[in-house]
Amino acid sequence: MNSTTSRASRGAAAPASTSFLDRYFDITGRGSTLGTEIRGGIVTFVTMAYIVILNPIILSTPDVDGVTLPGTAVATSTALTAGVMTILFGLVTRLPFAFAAGLGINAFLAFSVVGQVTWGEAMALVVINGLIIVLLAATGLRKMIFDAVPVQLKLAITVGIGLFIAFIGFVNAGFVTTTGNASPPLDLGVGGSITTISTVMFIVTLFLSGILMALRVKGALLIGLVGGTVISYIVNAIWPTALGLKVSGLQIVALPDFGLVGRIDFGFDWAKVGIVSVVMIVFTLVFSNFFDAMGTMTGLAKESGLANDKGDFPRIRSALIVEGVGAIAGGATSSSSATVFVESGSGIGEGARTGLANVVTGVLFLLAMFFTPLTSIVPGYVAAAALVLVGALMLAQIKNIDLSDFSVLLPVFLTATVMPLTYSIANGIGAGFISWVVVNVFARKAKQVHWLLWVVAVGFVIYFARGPIEALIGA
pLDDT digit string, tens, across residues 224-283: 888 998 999 898 888 877 787 776 666 778 899 999 999 999 988 777 777 777 887 888
- Supply the pLDDT for residue 161: 78
Amino acid at 132: I
Backbone angles phi, psi at 111, to 5 degrees: -110, -5
- Supply the pLDDT for residue 111: 84
Closest CA to 305 of 348, 366, 359, 340: 348
- Supply the pLDDT for residue 14: 45
- Supply the pLDDT for residue 123: 96
- Supply the pLDDT for residue 131: 96
- Supply the pLDDT for residue 3: 44
Q: Identify each DSSP E strand in 32-172 by its residue range.
A: 99-101
Q: Identify each DSSP E strand in 260-409 by its residue range.
A: 338-340
Amino acid at 459: G
What's the Cα-to-Cα distance from 208 to each of 14, 43, 217, 341, 474, rounded to whole Å?
A: 44, 20, 12, 23, 54
- Supply the pLDDT for residue 466: 67
Closest CA to 146 of 286, 279, 282, 281: 286
Residues of the chain where predicted confidence (pLDDT) is lower than 50: 1-17, 475
Backbone angles phi, psi at 325, to 5 degrees: -60, -30
Are 77 and 333 contacting, i.e. CB atoms less than 8 angstroms apart? yes
Question: CA torsion 207→208→211→215, rounded to 10°?
Answer: -160
Calculate the CA 204 to chain-centre distance. 24
- Supply the pLDDT for residue 391: 82
- Supply the pLDDT for residue 370: 93
Distance CA 1, CA 407 (A): 38
Handedness of CA 232, 237, 240, 242 (dihedral sign): negative
Are 275 and 116 contacting, i.e. CB atoms less than 8 angstroms apart? no
